[in-house]
Every structure is written in C-alpha cells, then in structure tokens.
Amino acid sequence: QKEVEQNSGPLSVPEGAIASLNCTYSDRVSQSFFWYRQYSGKSPELIMSIYSNGDKEDGRFTAQLNKASQYVSLLIRDSQPSDSATYLCAVKTVGGGKLIFGQGTELSVKP
C-alpha cells in the first residue's frame, strides 16, 4: 500500500463547476497536510495547508481533513481553465521536514 494515494485522473470538469480531489494516507500519526498545484514544466506551488479535522477555506479552495478516516480532500469552486494542472497531496509526519507526496491528480477544466 502506498503511503499517500490519489486518483491519477485525469479529472475533467466544465468551467464553473466544483472540482473534487481526494487523497488518503496510511500513517495514522501524520500531523500536517498540504495541497500543491503544479503546472506542466513548473515546480509545485503550495495552495492549502490543513492541520486539524474539519474544513479550511481560502477563496475558491476548501481543504477537508478527516483523521479518523485518514482522508484529505480539496474542493475547487467555480473552476477556471487556469486551474488546469496536476494537484499533489502531501503529508508530513512527526519530527521533521519530510513530505510524502501522492502521485498527483491531473485536473482539466474545459471552457
């Protein structure tokens, strides 16, 4: 079992729709959770971090964390073609700066 799992996609949504990206992790002691966006040929860009159970909203983005289910999600409201990218889920465990990444979900927003 991979430590961090994401659906590879591609996930295709129409412009203006809600895109839902999911991630599960295996290590129960994981404490910090991050979503990165990576455009083709670019480096990952941090878009959300979440540390406690529940929802965290930032503009059109909402991150959801359920530690009991070991599940993290990212919702993108009013999706735009510029949101088309690969979204990487990353998990940090106790004691240090090691991030464990999922394989990423490719999102395509169609005009």
Q: State yes or no: residue 19 binds another protein (CB under 8 A).
A: no
User: What SS3 state is found at 32?
Assistant: strand
Cα 92 to chain center, whole Å?
13
Pairing of strands 105-110, 11-14: parallel
Q: Does 42 bind another protein (CB under 8 A)?
A: yes
Judged by CB under 8 A, does residue 111 bind another protein? no
Q: How far is the CB of 88 from another protein (least distance, A)?
A: 7
Q: Which residues of this protein are in contact with another protein, per CB under 8 A? A: 34, 36, 42-46, 49, 88, 90, 96-104
